[in-house]
């Protein structure tokens, strides 16, 4: 019951949230922050789930929803900048941890990997890591300084251009390097990866992982007028997350045989991104997050350990 209603410990499995979270961190996740989510399956209840795993007839149903989603009242709603643990939509056994970048009702746009909210308000936290082209005049000094900053992956980004390296680093580190005499200039490097062919929002070929939008993140009660554009943008979400399927015929829209002109969303949605932009599998790839998938809020790194040993500098690090 403690794990269900109060808190749980989540182990960071990847580098997608560096430098805020490191691989091997053990994070305290509060269930009270956003309200405890009640189990939707007996497999989510500690000890009881053992009986169902041992039963051959029920074991194969471990990824199914048995009961309707319910959440108790919490202390707050998710805020922009929160570190959130959630289920990857459609995968009950797959937990991810990312930073909340877009809230219900926000108009969000990504341009050259930068996030913009509303009237082009740029959201750029100093801990966010991106890839930069660094033009230098003294490689030995640059290597010495990047080593001191624990930036070790620049070698994998060496380019064929003389006096240039490609470095994945935080905004804070980039601002510091730009002040050095051994650095001539620093430019953001944007690699426009194509979106998956089944991407839920891909309206045209101009939308890519680091350049797409703007679009409105639906909030509970948001009403949209139906058109080919809005159906292309939200149709998959309506069908898979809201259980509301719409058919188009002669530029008219129908649900269960009845013509409709608008749709009102029943859930809140969020946009999640990893701080380590180049190495994160997040809302840019799998889409917006239904509120019901949220598990809790990351509050603190309790300790950090890998095969190399324990990193005592991260003991009880607040997030």
Burial of 32 (0-12, 13-18, 19+ CB in 10 A): middle
Can you give the pLDDT at residue 27? 95
- CA 237, distance to chain mean position in Å, is 17
Burial 173-193 (b: 16+ CB within 10 A, else e): bbeebeebebbeebeebbeee
Mean pLDDT, all residues of the chain = 87
pLDDT the model gives residue 202: 62
pLDDT at 201: 63
- pLDDT category at 147 given cuts 50, 70, 90 is confident
The answer as to whether 230 is a domain residue is: no
Q: What is the CATH number of the domain that holds 165?
A: 3.30.70
Query: Rounded distance, CA 127 to CA 129, Å?
Result: 6
How many structural domains are present in the chain? 1
Per-residue pLDDT tens over the stretch 18-46? 889 988 999 999 999 999 888 878 777 77
Answer yes or no: is pLDDT of 306 > 90. no
Q: Is residue 151 part of a domain?
A: yes
pLDDT-derived band at 160 (thresholds 50, 70, 90) equals low
pLDDT digits (tens, 9 = 90+) for 171-202: 999 999 999 999 999 999 987 777 766 666 66
Q: What is the model's pLDDT at position 239?
A: 93
User: Is a pLDDT exceeding 60 seen at residue 103?
Assistant: yes
pLDDT at 178: 94
Task: List, for residues 208-257, the tens digit of each pLDDT value.
Answer: 888 888 899 999 999 999 998 899 889 999 999 999 999 999 889 999 99
Report the DSSP beta bridge partners of residue 98.
Answer: 84
Q: Is 113 helix (H, G, I), strand (E, B) or coil?
A: coil
Instruction: Determine the pLDDT at residue 176.
Output: 94
Q: 219 CB contacts (<8 Å, ≥6 apart)?
A: 104, 105, 265, 268, 269
SS3 for 279?
helix
Instruction: Give pLDDT, residue 18.
Output: 87
pLDDT class of 122 with cuts at 50, 70, 90: confident
- Assigned domain for 287 exists: no
Q: Residue 172 falls within a domain, yes or no?
A: yes
As a whole number, mean pLDDT of residues 101-119 equals 91
Q: Give the domain extent around 137.
A: 129-188
CA 198 to chain centre: 18
* 170 occurs within a structural domain: yes
Asked if residue 159 has pLDDT above 70, the reply is: no
pTM for the structure as a whole: 0.88
Judge whether 35 lies within some domain.
no
**pLDDT above 70: percentage of residues in the chain:** 93
Residue 183 belongs to some domain of the structure: yes
In this predicted structure, the answer to whether residue 47 has a pLDDT above a threshold of 80 is no
Q: CB-side exposure of 293: number of CA atoms within 13 Å?
A: 25
Residue 9 · residue 25 · CB < 8 Å: no
Instruction: With a cut of 80, say whether residue 93 has pLDDT above it.
Output: no
pLDDT at 105: 96
Q: With respect to residue 179, please indicate whether it lies within any of the assigned structural domains.
A: yes
């Amino acid at each position: 019951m403690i794990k269900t209603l109060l808190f749980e410990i989540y182990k960071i499995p990847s580098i997608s949230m560096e430098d805020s979270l490191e691989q091997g961190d053990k994070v305290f996740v509060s269930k009270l922050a956003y309200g405890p989510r009640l189990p939707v399956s007996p497999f989510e209840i500690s000890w009881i789930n053992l009986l169902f795993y041992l039963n051959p007839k029920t074991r194969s149903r471990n990824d199914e929803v048995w009961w309707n989603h319910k959440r108790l009242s919490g202390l707050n709603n998710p805020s922009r900048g929160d570190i959130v643990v959630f289920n990857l939509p459609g995968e009950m056994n797959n937990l991810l941890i990312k930073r909340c970048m877009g809230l219900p009702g926000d108009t969000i746009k990504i341009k050259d990997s930068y996030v913009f909210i509303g009237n082009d308000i740029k959201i750029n936290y100093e801990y966010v890591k991106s890839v930069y082209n660094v033009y230098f005049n003294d490689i030995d000094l640059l290597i010495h300084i990047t080593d001191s900053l624990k930036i070790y992956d620049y070698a994998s980004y060496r380019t064929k251009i003389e006096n240039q390296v490609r470095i994945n680093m935080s905004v804070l580190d980039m601002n510091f390097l730009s002040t050095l005499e051994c650095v001539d200039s620093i430019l953001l490097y944007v690699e426009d990866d194509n979106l998956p062919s089944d991407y839920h929002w891909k309206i045209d070929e101009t939308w890519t992982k680091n350049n797409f939008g703007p679009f409105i993140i639906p909030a509970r009660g948001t009403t949209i007028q139906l058109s080919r554009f809005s159906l292309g943008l939200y149709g998959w979400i309506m069908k898979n997350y809201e259980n509301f399927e719409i058919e188009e015929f002669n530029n008219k829209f129908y649900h269960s045989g009845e013509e409709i002109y608008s749709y009102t969303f029943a859930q809140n949605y969020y946009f999640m991104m990893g701080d380590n932009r180049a190495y994160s599998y997040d809302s840019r790839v799998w889409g917006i997050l239904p509120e019901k998938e949220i598990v809790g809020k990351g509050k603190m790194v309790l300790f950090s350990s890998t095969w190399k040993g324990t990193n005592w500098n991260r003991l009880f690090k607040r997030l």
